[in-house]
């Protein structure tokens, strides 16, 4: 993939993040009491009351696997394993899809989910972000990328036991840090800190810094990389994990 195509793909991804974040803020402001009560199933995994968020994650995973879609869970679901268990009431996924095959992925997704509204359908066509609703009624945000990085995320994904009938396919700890630094919201930095504390010693930090060096430059957010390095050094002052005691500068 040449530089101009990569830059164009990143711009679409950046706009997709902006659209998804704008929608999340609006939906949070407009959240009804009924929607909040339903979300508690996802937060606390209350199965007896109905389908939990994690039940829907298993169902979606089985469907995408059957359709041959390259994917993994990112966001809150992956955070439960690599960082600290925290509240989450929606699903976030990364899908890799080559240019020209968007309709194949869309068909697979619509077999098992609906768009949240008509605007979400238009957003998919423009920004390759599927903002849907699961069979159990939970919000699902799916980023459908075609860059080499999105492909590498799916290739580095791992299966993890969540105490369910089926292990979930989640992104690696490295890729969770990368995606959260790229997103760069307040909660993302909180999550990154807990990932560093829980999983940092065994992570491939050179890989993370190498990926972010390119991605953040394309996003015009290069200042986020020094911030990440400072956080890692604050937790491991004597040596940076994965760098055999060398510095991060």
User: Which residues is 93 bridged to in the sheet?
Assistant: 73, 142
* Helix, strand, or coil (residue 72): strand
- Spacing of C-alpha 167 from chain mean position: 17
For Cα atoms 14, 187, 69, give the angle at the middle one, nearest 5 degrees.
50
Domains recognised in the chain with CATH numbers: 3-171 (3.30.460.10), 172-249 (no CATH)
Question: How large is the average pLDDT for residues 16-31?
Answer: 72
Residues whose CB is less than 8 angstroms from the CB of residue 5 and which lie 6 or more positions away in sequence, other chains included? none
Residue 124 has pLDDT above 70, yes or no: yes
Please, are residues 138 and 53 in contact by the beta-carbon 8 Å criterion? yes
Q: What's this model's pTM, rounded to 2 decimal places?
A: 0.80
What number of H helices and E strands is found in the chain? 11, 7
C-alpha closest to that of 128 among 23, 4, 14: 14
Give the gyration radius of the chain's Cα atoms.
18
The pLDDT tens digits of the residues spanning 52-95 come to 888 899 999 999 999 999 999 999 999 989 998 888 889 999 99
The pLDDT tens digits of the residues spanning 190-247 come to 999 999 999 998 999 999 999 999 999 999 999 999 999 999 999 888 766 665 434 4
How many whole angstroms separate alpha carbon 232 and alpha carbon 194?
11
The pLDDT tens digits of the residues spanning 139-157 come to 999 999 999 999 999 999 9
């Amino acid at each position: 993939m040449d530089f101009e195509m990569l830059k164009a793909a990143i711009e679409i991804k950046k706009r997709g993040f902006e659209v998804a974040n704008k929608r999340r803020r609006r939906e949070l402001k407009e959240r009804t009491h009924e929607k909040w009560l339903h979300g508690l199933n996802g937060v606390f995994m209350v199965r007896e009351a109905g389908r939990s968020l994690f039940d829907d994650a298993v169902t979606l995973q089985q469907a995408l696997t059957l359709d041959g879609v390259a994917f993994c869970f990112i966001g809150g679901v992956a955070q439960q394993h690599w960082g600290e268990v925290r509240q989450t009431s929606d699903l976030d996924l990364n899908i890799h899809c080559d240019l020209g095959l968007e309709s194949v992925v869309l068909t697979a997704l619509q077999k098992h989910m609906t768009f949240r509204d008509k605007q979400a359908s238009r957003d998919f066509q423009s920004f390759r972000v599927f903002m849907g609703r699961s069979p159990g009624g939970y919000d699902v945000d799916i980023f459908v990328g075609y860059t080499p990085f999105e492909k590498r995320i799916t290739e580095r994904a791992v299966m993890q036991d969540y105490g369910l009938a089926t292990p979930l396919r989640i992104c690696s700890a490295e890729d969770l840090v990368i995606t959260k630094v790229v997103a760069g919201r307040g909660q993302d930095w909180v999550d990154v800190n807990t990932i560093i504390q829980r999983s940092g010693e065994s992570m491939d930090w050179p890989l993370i810094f190498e990926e972010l060096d390119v991605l953040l430059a394309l996003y015009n957010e290069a200042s986020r990389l020094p911030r990440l390095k400072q956080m890692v050094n604050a937790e491991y002052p004597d040596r940076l994990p994965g760098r055999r005691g060398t510095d991060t500068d």
